[in-house]
């Protein structure tokens, strides 16, 4: 998310391409997955941190910064976010949204939004995020739930939930310094690889992505399907990401005793990289930006362009379009690995 480029976006959303099939050994580099990367050994995952409505602003910093992805967005501070109703609590859930009432100058600072980063960073973790609602599939929008290290790309980036415009298929992506060329881990994956073979190619901007095969894994379709849970397991051996619709969330997640061995095939299953040297000290981030390096870059080749030839102009003039552009979070839990 933090430094996404158009190169990944075009094949993902708007251009028909032939993707390599999912399964062991079928990342873009065609490197077979190492036999040493087997199923995760039986492990008791200890709860390290819970982020929810009881402590959200104690655990996250609200970042009123310029958007690194050059979006048409104005990230506000914590006081502004709360006073404008962009960050609040509803029925023990955390709401984070955007201004959906103001008509703006397309050459101005952009639409008010919220970006937060966890005060704590992690090296290895099982991150389980439970969502009642994620930002809808709206022209111009680019939301993400992700993790990133402070010295990008040398300490890595893991995009867990990400998409743009009218997409309903989630994309998981790794960004790194050059030399992380993953294979598909043992047991395969349900998604299909896109982007570069090397997660650090082109300075890490493009990354190595995996697009979900589920049309309800992102945006409006995710919400219509009742929300759900994303779980990301990051170890020395690999990185895996699962999506579960709310009705399908494993009982061991609901009970607080997660067992990834029982969860079936993940959406993304990265193996075969020196993960410890490429990914460390990563913070958790939520944001919603508009247009910019991805949503804006693919605007002209998307159906959104029929509404307005300019992404910025559309976002500026259509505030009502973003009433559904918000996160509603039940909790984010981080377990030790």
3-class state of residue 284 by DSSP:
strand
**Comparing C-alpha atoms, which of 313, 304, 310 is closest to residue 164?**
304
Give me the DSSP letters along 312-327: HHHHHH-GGGGTT-EE
- Percent of the chain at pLDDT > 90 equals 87
**Tokens 């399908």 appear where?**
248
pTM above 0.85, yes or no: yes
Query: What is the reported pLDDT for 44?
Result: 83
What pLDDT, on a 0 to 100 scale, did the predictor assign at position 241? 99
CATH number of 46-336: 2.60.120.200
Question: Which pair of tokens denotes residue 297?
Answer: 């870059």
Q: Which residues pair with 238 in a beta bridge?
A: 271
Pairing type for strands 73-75 and 111-113 reads parallel
Question: Could you report the per-residue pLDDT of 81-137, keeping only the tens digit for each?
Answer: 999 999 999 999 999 999 999 999 999 999 999 999 999 999 999 999 999 999 999
What are residue 142's DSSP bridge partners? 289
Closest to 329 (Cα-Cα) out of 171, 180, 144, 129: 129
Average pLDDT over residues 157-178: 98
The rounded distance, in Å, linking the Cα atoms of 89 and 86 is 10
Q: What residues are annotated to the active site?
A: 157, 162
Confidence of residue 8 (pLDDT cuts 50, 70, 90): very low
Using one digit for the tens of pLDDT, what is the confidence trace for 221-280? 999 999 999 999 999 999 999 999 999 999 999 999 999 999 999 999 999 999 999 999
pLDDT number for residue 278: 98
Tens digit of each residue's pLDDT (9 = 90 or more) over 23-34: 223 355 433 333
Q: What pLDDT sits at residue 28?
A: 52
Domain chopping of the chain, boundaries:
46-336
């Amino acid at each position: 998310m933090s430094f996404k480029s158009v190169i990944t976006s075009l094949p993902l959303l708007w251009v028909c391409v032939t993707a390599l099939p999912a399964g062991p050994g079928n990342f873009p580099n065609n490197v077979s997955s190492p036999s040493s990367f087997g199923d995760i050994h039986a492990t008791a995952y200890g709860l390290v941190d819970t982020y929810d409505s009881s402590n959200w602003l104690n655990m996250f910093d609200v970042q009123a910064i310029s958007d690194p992805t050059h979006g048409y967005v104005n990230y506000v501070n914590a006081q502004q976010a709360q006073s404008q109703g962009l960050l609040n609590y509803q029925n023990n859930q955390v709401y984070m949204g955007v201004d959906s009432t103001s008509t703006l100058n397309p050459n101005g600072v952009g639409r008010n939004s919220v970006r937060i980063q966890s005060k704590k960073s992690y090296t290895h973790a099982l991150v389980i995020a439970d969502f009642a609602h994620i930002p809808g599939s709206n022209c111009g929008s680019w939301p993400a739930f992700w993790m990133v290290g402070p010295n990008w790309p040398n300490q890595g980036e893991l995009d867990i939930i990400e998409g743009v415009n009218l997409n309903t298929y989630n994309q998981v992506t790794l960004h790194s310094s050059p030399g992380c060329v993953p294979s598909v881990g043992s047991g395969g994956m349900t998604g299909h690889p896109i982007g570069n073979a090397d997660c650090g190619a082109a300075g890490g901007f493009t990354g190595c992505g995996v697009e979900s095969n589920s049309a309800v894994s992102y945006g409006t379709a995710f919400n219509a399907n009742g929300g759900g849970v994303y779980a990301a397991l990051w170890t020395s051996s690999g990185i895996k990401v699962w999506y579960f619709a709310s009705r399908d969330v494993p009982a061991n997640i609901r009970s607080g005793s997660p067992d990834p061995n029982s969860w079936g095939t993940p959406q993304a299953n990265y193996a075969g990289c020196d993960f410890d040297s490429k990914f460390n000290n990563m913070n958790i981030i939520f944001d919603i930006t508009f247009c910019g390096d991805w949503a804006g870059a693919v605007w002209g080749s998307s159906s959104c362009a029929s509404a307005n030839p300019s992404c910025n102009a559309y976002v500026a003039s259509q505030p009502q379009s973003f009433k559904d552009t918000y996160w509603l979070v039940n909790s984010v839990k981080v377990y030790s690995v």
